Amino acid sequence: MNTPSPKTLIAIVSCSAVLTAAVVDLDRTAPGPLHTAHARIAELDGGNDCAQCHGGWTTSMTDACLDCHDAIDEHIETGRGLHGTLGSETAADCAACHSDHHGAGFASVNQVSFARAGVADVAEFDHGLVSFDMAGAHLELDCAECHEHSEAAILPEGAHRYLGLDQSCATCHDDVHEGALGDSCADCHTQVAFTDHVFTGHDRFLPLLGGHAGLDCRTCHEEGTAHSLEAQRGAARNRPVARDCRACHDQPHDRSFVHHAALSAGVRGPMALTGSAANRLCVDCHEHADESFADAGVDMTDRQHAASGFRLEVPHESVDCAGCHAPDLSFAERYPGRGPNECAACHEDPHGGQFAGAVYDAVADLAGGDVDDVGCLVCHTPTHFDPHTFGTEAHAQTALALEDAHAIDDCSACHALDEADVRLFRGIGHTCETCHTDAHGGFFDALLAGEGASADLAPPPESGDCARCHTPTAFADVPPETFDHGLWTGFELDGAHAAEECSSCHVRTDAADEHGRTFGRVDDIYGEVVGCVSCHDDVHEGRFDASEHLLEVDGRSDCARCHSTASFRDASDDFDHARWTGWPLDGAHAAADCTSCHAPLRRPDEHGRTWARANGTDCASCHEGPHGDQFGAQPGLKAKSCERCHESAESFGTLSFDHDIESRFPLDEAHAVVDCAGCHEPNEETGIVAYRPLSRDCVDCHGVHERALRRRGRR
């Protein structure tokens, strides 16, 4: 007996393990209870035969689903219905939209199902996806009104949620005609309401207008007759039975009138008065749109009148014959053969001849017409003179285009009546000055008249000088780029002025003046403008306007001698402190900040000044004296200023005091080498160094003993 090789044993053991796992897996229970629709199927009840729904060795889950849902299988195969539009990959993945094992009450068709099918909102479902056109009243229905089980969580056995309906009206509606008119309801009815009818092809035989409009169908198509609806529907496969006017209406005219009508219509021969030709003559005088046969109301029909070269259209259709054809005249005078555009033959010229001759031709060209063809209709319609048809496009080809504020319907705003009550259209001008008064009171006229200034200006626009700065939108609309304030007013807007709103200097008024102007004038607020002080208070109270000061510095006058337009705080770099204040800034003063002497104020003073004035021009005004009142005025002595001893502007420590000349105690050889503090000691109480008055006697410094020694030495 041969012993199996190790490899064979391993293969046998592996196969056994796989088979065992498979058997165990086949015996596996479901992950959760089935939906009711599946659970009530005996073969699926119990949840152990997974292959019934999930497929086996040779089938897929999709195959298993479609084995039971054969209607869906047929839709996918034929491309019909919602599933037929999903594409093969999406349609094959049933579980992606319809999951199970979530319990009996779980809805397998839900919002997620529709969302994955591309339908975001079931209530807004587009039935066109399933080739079912819905409109009118159908769009107001709830789904359940057509799909009985659309909202059911659990379908009754054998029922469908959405399938089983078609677009045949009889699916939902009773056929009141009981099949006599066929099953194509849409041929006569709309989806809006059954009372709304359509009459496809009816115009080929009789337009349903005028007196024929609004009639009940049975009025002409009575039951049991050869022309009934039932008979017409039956004959529709071939040709409906058509009728002429006399089939329904009696002929009220005698043979002579009919003969005249036939001649007018160009009908000749014996058929003119008999047969179908005579029947058709009715429509030569009576239109389908007439409410009755008496609608013509005149001796001639419109068609006959039109044959004369003059159609009786609005507004002539309502004019009495005598209005154009006066009685008691010869035939030639009464019927002169006027053309439809010869308005002047009957109507007076309301323009007083303004558009006669070459002007008339020019106006016709603007409107794109031909004088010979259109006459007054260049600007007016044949139905009414007012309103006219000379619109903005035609007006744009004149010297003034009607745009923005000019685009108004009231022509009388620009075209007034003259003394003869004739509205003027010619010679009224097209510039702004023609209609608008000068709200600037001639202020800019002087500039425009001056040769030097006008040389800097471009030629005025076609609409006049006002258009140099203003737009046709509104006079208040002045684009900044069109108005050069410096050029037009002589006042350059730079620095802080450039950042200001116009209303800062031109305060708007509550009420418009006689020119309609609400934009304030500068002189109304500040009076005559003569410089900075016209608008700004002089915080220096005229100190720099004294005669000893310059009235102009490098071409600058007024406040601009020292200040820039950027800010009053911004003084010019070349400000000469000595010239303007009498106090030169040298030495340590030149390095000091302005605020050292001119302290910033927390609030502007009554003049608007934000820097305090200097305390004075002497040293004591700013510096505290270390000498007390030693150098103040004393009897017999003049007050001595700091500069007598402290001439240096760099430091108070640098003295310029000459003891021999400026004191009563010359320094001899012995005293010259003595330190100042040796004689000038601080006061014990005040700490102030004593300089005056000091004794000049020796004993005051050296004592009595020193004096006695000196006496002995002399001996």
Q: What local confidence, expressed as pLDDT, does residue 228 receive?
A: 83
Dist CA 99 CA 95 (whole Å): 5
Please report which confidence band the pLDDT of residue 268 belongs to, taking 50, 70 and 90 as the band edges: very low
Q: What is the pLDDT of residue 637?
A: 41
Mean pLDDT of 135-145: 88
Average pLDDT estimate for 77-100: 84
Average pLDDT, the chain: 78
Average pLDDT over residues 98-116: 83
Tens of pLDDT, residues 603-639? 888 877 888 888 888 787 888 888 888 776 544 444 4
Q: Which residue has the tokens 């207008």?
A: 209
The residue with greater pLDDT, 524 or 200, is 524
Q: What is the mean pLDDT of residues 422-448?
A: 83
At residue 91, what is the residue type?
A
- CA-to-CA distance for 9 and 651, rounded, in angstroms? 116
Report the percentage of the chain scoring pLDDT > 70. 80
Residue whose token pair is 């009818």 = 197
Pairing of strands 556-557, 552-553: antiparallel
- Paired with 634 in beta bridges are 637
User: What burial letters (b/e) apply to 413-443, b meaning 16+ CB within 10 Å?
Assistant: ebeeeeeeeeeebeeeeebbeeeeeebeeee
- Which is higher by pLDDT, 339 or 669? 669
Q: DSSP string covering 194-225, please? A: TT-B--TTGGGT----GGGTT--HHHHS-TTS
**Is the Cα dihedral 364, 368, 372, 376 positive or negative?**
negative
What is the rounded average pLDDT of the residues 487-491?
83
Of 38-47, 243-252, 369-378, 650-659, least confident by mean pLDDT is 369-378
Distance between CA 702 and CA 604 in Å, rounded?
A: 61
Collapsing DSSP to helix, strand or coil, 705 comes out as helix
What is the pLDDT at residue 577? 85
CA dihedral 248, 252, 258, 260 (to 10 degrees): -140
